């Protein structure tokens, strides 16, 4: 099937590459010419395991192409809209300007019978007005949210936990579902659960899932505060809670909390939408989840200050991790870099390293000293902070050899990802959140 993908950022680039790998002819469109240049040359513009190979294969088979010219979408039966919906400057609400622009740009090039499929994350209630604009052109609009995680984007797209398709209860809406099912035939044949619903439920399915995941993490961080005040251990607590299958162990890891381009902004956008809908108690609840999350970062800074005897002024701190999570070079709203920034503002001499995010971290935080090699970061350090749970730090650092390389004797585990007793047994002072 000939398909178009409008918006080739994180979501769109992966979606385009995966759809081509399923045998479709895909044209990806974006207004960012440097992004398109890189994708058109078969190169991934960001770090994502598996993407490079799919881009190369798509390039070689001729099924995958990229352009900045929106007219190239003509002839596609489905147009996937994958543009970003970041947080608006100065408010909690989502910024829908790229979405509206994409629809405006697309409209002159659609034909009756085409299907437009929204994949972007939007406030509930957004799709129905777009559906009206398109239906007068004989084009139906469906909403099909994505649930992919950065670092696992290709696998999550090829083998999703579920596919949610929202459509209006009209003949055109039902025909749209049939077309989209045809495009996803190979995924559906692998027994991926399919949830068919209306536009509003589909829009909400995405933000509700992200807000719930965020809530679990903030719940764990709230318990970490209680654990710190009482001598309980939040990691064992999460194990104990996680055995209850109704709760589950995933997303119960306390530490410096969640960041990235999705959970924080989606949680806030849902709070903003709740406020618009006059659901003020719901808004407060969601903003509390956000507040606990942001507090987790400042609590870590407090731990560092305590460990260094009350002030970090002039003290040399090595930070392992810059990405918002492992297997990603994304530093948007990265808890690790925010902690680094705070410590520097308080006068510490901070050096940061990361296996994949050095370049992005330098671009966004030119004020920080960011080095490629762990050895260079460890040089002269008085204290070491692990702030992103990369396996290179959690599994591959040897307490004994790190001790030989640096004068530091204190390690602070901002992700509860190290095996604490190994460090303590090797003579380290080990500190963490909620333990």
Q: Which residues bind ligand UGA (CB under 6 A)?
A: 121, 146-150, 210, 213, 217, 251-253, 255, 257-260, 262-263, 266, 324-325
Direct distance between the N- and C-terminal alpha carbons of the chain, in angstroms, rounded to an integer? 54
Nearer to ligand UGA (CB atom), residue 64 or residue 322:
322
Nearer to ligand UGA (CB atom), residue 82 or residue 274:
82
Nearest approach, Cβ of residue 197 and ligand UGA (Å): 18
Nearer to ligand UGA (CB atom), residue 139 or residue 252:
252
Nearest approach, Cβ of residue 242 and ligand UGA (Å): 10
* Closest-CA residue to 28 (of 317, 51, 49): 51
Nearer to ligand UGA (CB atom), residue 77 or residue 295:
295
Question: Which phi and psi (to 5°) does residue 312 adopt?
Answer: -105, 0
Q: What distance in Å separates the CA atoms of residue 342 and residue 301, rounded to the nearest whole number?
A: 7
> Going by C-beta distance under 8 Å and a sequence separation of 6 or more, which residues neighbour residue 13?
28, 35, 39, 44, 45, 46, 51, 55
Tell me if 432 sits within 8 A of 421, measured CB to CB. no
Strands (E) in 258-355, as ranges, are 316-320, 349-353
Sheet holding 316-320, edge to edge: 369-371, 349-353, 316-320, 383-386, 410-413, 429-432
Nearer to ligand UGA (CB atom), residue 217 or residue 356:
217
Nearest approach, Cβ of residue 144 and ligand UGA (Å): 13
Tell me if 282 sits within 8 A of 276, measured CB to CB. no
Nearest approach, Cβ of residue 306 and ligand UGA (Å): 22
Strands (E) in 285-331, as ranges, are 316-320
Nearer to ligand UGA (CB atom), residue 179 or residue 388:
388
Catalytic residue annotation: 262
Nearer to ligand UGA (CB atom), residue 25 or residue 266:
266
Nearest approach, Cβ of residue 413 and ligand UGA (Å): 13
Q: What distance in Å separates the CA atoms of residue 154 and residue 17, rounded to the nearest whole number?
A: 9
Nearest approach, Cβ of residue 323 and ligand UGA (Å): 9
Question: Which ranges constitute the DSSP H helices of 316-425?
Answer: 335-345, 358-364, 374-378, 391-394, 399-405, 420-425
Q: What distance in Å separates the CA atoms of residue 228 and residue 234, rounded to the nearest whole number?
A: 8
Nearest approach, Cβ of residue 195 and ligand UGA (Å): 15
Conformation bin of residue 351: beta by default, left when phi > 0, alpha when psi is -120 to 50: beta
Q: What distance in Å separates the CA atoms of residue 203 and residue 119, rounded to the nearest whole number?
A: 9
For 269, the 3-state DSSP assignment is helix
Tell me if 78 sits within 8 A of 117, measured CB to CB. yes
Q: What distance in Å separates the CA atoms of residue 384 and residue 408, rounded to the nearest whole number?
A: 7
Tokens of 421: 């007793």
Nearest approach, Cβ of residue 324 and ligand UGA (Å): 4
Tokens of 282: 């719901």
* Closest-CA residue to 164 (of 212, 125, 119, 115): 119
Nearer to ligand UGA (CB atom), residue 148 or residue 234:
148
């Amino acid at each position: 099937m000939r398909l178009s993908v409008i918006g080739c950022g994180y979501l769109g680039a992966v979606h385009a590459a995966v759809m081509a790998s399923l045998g479709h002819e895909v044209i990806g469109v974006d207004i960012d010419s440097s992004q398109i240049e890189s994708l058109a040359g078969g190169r991934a513009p960001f770090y994502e395991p598996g993407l490079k190979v799919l881009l190369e294969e798509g390039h070689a088979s001729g099924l995958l192409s990229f352009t900045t010219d929106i007219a190239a979408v003509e002839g596609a039966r489905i147009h996937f809209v994958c543009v970003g919906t970041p947080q608006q400057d100065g408010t909690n609400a989502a910024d829908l300007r790229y979405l509206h622009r994409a629809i405006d740009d697309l409209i002159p090039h659609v034909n009756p019978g085409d299907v437009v499929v929204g994949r972007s994350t939007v406030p509930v209630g957004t799709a129905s007005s777009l559906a009206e604009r398109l239906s007068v052109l004989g084009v139906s609009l469906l909403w099909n949210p994505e649930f992919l995680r950065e670092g696992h984007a290709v696998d999550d797209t090829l083998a999703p936990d579920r596919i949610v398709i929202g459509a209006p209860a009209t003949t055109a809406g039902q025909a749209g579902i049939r077309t989209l099912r045809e495009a996803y035939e190979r995924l559906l044949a692998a027994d991926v659960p399919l949830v068919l619903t209306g536009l509003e439920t589909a829009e909400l399915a995405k933000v509700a899932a992200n807000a719930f995941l965020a809530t679990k993490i903030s719940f764990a961080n709230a318990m970490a505060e209680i654990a710190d005040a009482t001598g309980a251990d939040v990691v064992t607590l999460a194990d104990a809670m996680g055995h209850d299958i109704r709760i589950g162990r995933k997303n119960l890891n306390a530490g410096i909390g969640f960041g990235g381009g999705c959970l924080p902004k989606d949680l806030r956008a849902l709070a903003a939408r709740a406020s618009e809908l006059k659901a003020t108690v719901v808004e407060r609840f969601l903003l509390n989840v956000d507040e606990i999350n942001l507090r987790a970062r400042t609590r870590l800074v407090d731990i560092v200050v305590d460990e260094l005897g009350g002030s970090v002024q002039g003290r040399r701190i090595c930070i392992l991790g810059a990405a918002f999570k492992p297997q990603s070079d994304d530093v948007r709203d990265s808890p690790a870099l925010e902690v680094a920034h705070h410590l520097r503002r308080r006068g510490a001499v901070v050096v940061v390293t990361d296996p994949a995010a050095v370049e992005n971290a330098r671009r966004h935080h030119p004020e920080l000293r960011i080095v490629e090699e762990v050895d260079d970061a460890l040089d002269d350090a008085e204290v070491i902070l692990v702030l992103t749970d990369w396996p290179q730090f959690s599994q591959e650092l040897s307490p004994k050899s790190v001790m030989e390389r640096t004068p530091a004797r204190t390690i602070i585990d901002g992700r509860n990802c190290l095996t604490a007793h190994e460090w303590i047994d090797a003579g380290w002072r080990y500190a963490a959140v909620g333990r």
